């Protein structure tokens, strides 16, 4: 078992052991201690969850909800352990969609169609519904409670970029020129993280897409070894001249800190930049803005979306109560309350919320209305390795490919190992093909 992939038999054995306990409604009249898992671990987020669930307990006498927070990489191993031990969580939030469809392929998730219909299917952004649909079974095993893109927005310093503004980042060529021009006096022109991490993989995947390429072609064949991937490698190699030397080990934290602390003229990241600037470096508050990450000459206007999802394990003790708990999170006041704990970092996946006066009334969102609009637009164009285009079938091995770090290792082969982009793309394609066959 690796941190990102799961021994199928261990999960199925756990699910079988729990099958006799999956009886909706049996425990509802009794004292019921529910368990909620999430990857959102900030103290202010935990406080809001506790507040929401206290209200849920008041409306459902005898019910209590405990919040347990984990890193993304911990979710699958811990779920396997709880299935085997007969103690699965009742609801999981912010699960990566690649994990959702991997677990669904093993029959371990309960459909959430009732939740989507109650909220209103037309209210969800279409790309999220398309991504999380089991086309063979005709149901949704999960729903994206929020969406964001940590790689789609490119933040920049207006005071350093100057009069060019957004035009400085419209193309790869203009971004390279801007990074070179602003790389001076102890400030890097940009940050391009390519550590063996989730962010390293997702940013590379997005760069390949915005070069016009695919990891897998619509017919299921491996498309990684393509002129588009080679062009992406060449662009990144040139851009890294203006990125910190430690970028080969950079992930989310190093990237956001580097920009917020004023050590780079530009960097990719989500809306958390806005919150961190207010608290850590307020003198930059009026000097930052955001543009979509640039696109190559033959690229597609698409970004990597995170699509953090709500799922109910099939082995959960009371599916109806789990659905009620999920709906409490999607209740308008609760939903906005949670979104406002990290304004613009988690963006709404409900159109009615994104356009509501209540959501947009937050002081940070109001102050940076233009920047938030750029990020909302990017998430609406977001996709996943699960389904790289509308012409692609669902790739249930997406989580395995991401977890292997094959893609970003191919980039490191170029930048650190000295392989030609062509050789690295061919080697990476062979490794992806082997993962698909495993």
pLDDT tens string 116-162: 999 999 999 999 999 999 999 999 999 999 999 999 999 999 999 99
Average pLDDT over residues 168-178: 97
The pLDDT of residue 45 is above 70:
yes
Q: What is the CA radius of gyration of the chain?
A: 22
The more confident residue out of 390 and 73 is 390
The pLDDT of residue 248 is above 50:
yes
Average pLDDT over residues 33-48: 95
Average pLDDT over residues 253-270: 97
Average pLDDT over residues 337-356: 95
Angle at 182 between CA 181 and CA 184, to 5 degrees: 105
Contacts of 13 (CB under 8 A, 6+ apart): 83, 84
The pLDDT of residue 143: 98
**How much is the mean pLDDT over the chain?**
92
The pLDDT of residue 31: 83
> Would you place residue 230 in the very low, low, confident or very high pLDDT band (cuts 50, 70, 90)?
very high
Q: How far is the C-alpha of 97 from the C-alpha of 171, rounded, in Å?
A: 30
Tokens 């509501």, residue? 356
Nearest to 144 by CA among 99, 178, 80: 99
CA 235 vs. chain centroid, Å, equals 24
* Burial environment of residue 139 by CB neighbours within 10 A (0 to 12, 13 to 18, 19 or more): middle
The pLDDT of residue 13: 36
Count of other CB atoms within 10 angstroms of residue 277: 24
Q: How far is the C-alpha of 157 from the C-alpha of 287, rounded, in Å?
A: 6
Domains and CATH numbers, the chain: 8-147+306-367 (3.40.190.10), 153-304+390-437 (3.40.190.10)
Per cent of the chain over pLDDT 90 is 90
Nearest to 396 by CA among 70, 143, 110, 136: 136
Contacts of 264 (CB under 8 A, 6+ apart): 187, 188, 189, 190, 191, 243, 244, 258
> Would you place residue 30 in the very low, low, confident or very high pLDDT band (cuts 50, 70, 90)?
low
Give the CA count within 13 Å in the CB-facing half-sphere of 118: 14
Q: How far is the C-alpha of 438 from the C-alpha of 432, rounded, in Å?
A: 10
pTM, full prediction: 0.88
> Would you place residue 14 in the very low, low, confident or very high pLDDT band (cuts 50, 70, 90)?
very low
Tokens 């390795």, residue? 385
Q: pLDDT tens digits for 183-201?
A: 998 899 999 999 999 999 9
Q: How far is the C-alpha of 177 from the C-alpha of 169, rounded, in Å?
A: 9
Decide if 414 contacts 421 (C-beta within 8 A): yes
Decide if 242 contacts 341 (C-beta within 8 A): no
The more confident residue out of 71 and 300 is 300
The pLDDT of residue 21: 33
Q: By three-state DSSP, how is residue 61 classified? A: coil
Q: By three-state DSSP, how is residue 429 classified? A: helix
Q: How far is CA 189 from CA 116, 211, 291, in A?
A: 44, 21, 15
The pLDDT of residue 379 is above 60:
yes
Token code pair at residue 296? 């190559």
Q: How far is CA 168 from CA 17, 149, 157, 191, 266, in A?
A: 58, 21, 11, 16, 11
Per cent of the chain over pLDDT 70 is 93
Q: How far is the C-alpha of 323 from the C-alpha of 343, rounded, in Å?
A: 26
The pLDDT of residue 10: 40
The pLDDT of residue 321 is above 90:
yes
Q: How far is the C-alpha of 216 from the C-alpha of 194, rounded, in Å?
A: 21
> Would you place residue 339 in the very low, low, confident or very high pLDDT band (cuts 50, 70, 90)?
very high
């Amino acid at each position: 078992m690796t941190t990102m992939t799961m021994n199928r038999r261990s999960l199925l054995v756990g699910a079988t052991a729990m099958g006799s306990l999956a009886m909706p409604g049996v425990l509802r009249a009794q004292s019921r201690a529910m368990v909620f898992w999430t990857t959102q671990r900030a103290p202010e987020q935990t406080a809001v969850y506790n507040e929401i669930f206290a209200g849920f307990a008041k409306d459902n006498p005898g019910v209590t909800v405990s919040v347990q927070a984990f890193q993304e990489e911990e979710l699958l191993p811990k779920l396997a352990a709880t299935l085997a031990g007969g103690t699965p969580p009742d609801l999981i939030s912010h699960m990566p969609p690649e994990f959702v469809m991997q677990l669904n392929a093993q029959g371990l998730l309960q459909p959430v169609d009732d939740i989507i219909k109650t909220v209103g299917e037309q209210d969800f952004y279409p790309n999220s519904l398309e991504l999380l649909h089991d086309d063979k079974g005709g149901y949704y095993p999960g729903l994206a409670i929020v969406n964001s893109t940590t790689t789609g927005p490119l933040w920049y310093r207006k005071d350093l970029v100057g009069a060019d503004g957004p035009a400085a980042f419209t193309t790869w060529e203009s971004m390279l020129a801007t990074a070179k021009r602003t790389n001076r006096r102890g400030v890097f022109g940009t940050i391009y993280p390519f550590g063996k991490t989730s962010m390293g993989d997702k940013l590379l995947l997005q760069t390949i897409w915005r070069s016009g390429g695919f990891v897998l072609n619509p017919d299921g064949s491996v498309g990684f070894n393509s002129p588009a991937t080679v062009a992406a490698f060449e662009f990144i190699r040139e851009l890294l001249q203006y990125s910190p030397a430690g970028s080969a080990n950079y992930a989310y934290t190093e990237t956001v800190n580097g920009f917020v602390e004023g050590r780079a003229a530009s960097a990719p990241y989500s809306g958390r930049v806005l919150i961190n600037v207010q608290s850590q470096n307020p003198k930059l508050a009026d000097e930052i803005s955001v543009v979509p990450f640039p696109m190559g000459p033959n690229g597609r206007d698409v970004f990597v979306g995170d699509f953090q999802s709500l799922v109910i394990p099939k082995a959960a003790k009371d599916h109806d109560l789990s659905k009620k708990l999920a709906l409490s999170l999607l209740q308008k006041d609760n939903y906005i309350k949670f979104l406002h704990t990290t304004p613009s970092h988690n963006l709404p996946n409900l159109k009615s919320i994104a356009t509501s006066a209540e959501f947009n009334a937050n002081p940070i969102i109001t102050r940076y209305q233009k920047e938030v609009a750029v990020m909302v637009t990017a998430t609406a164009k977001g996709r996943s390795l699960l389904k790289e285009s509308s012409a692609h079938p669902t790739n249930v091995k997406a989580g395995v490919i991401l977890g292997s770090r094959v893609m970003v290792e191919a980039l490191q082969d170029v930048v650190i190992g000295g392989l030609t982009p062509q050789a690295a793309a061919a080697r990476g394609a062979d490794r992806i093909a082997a993962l698909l066959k495993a």
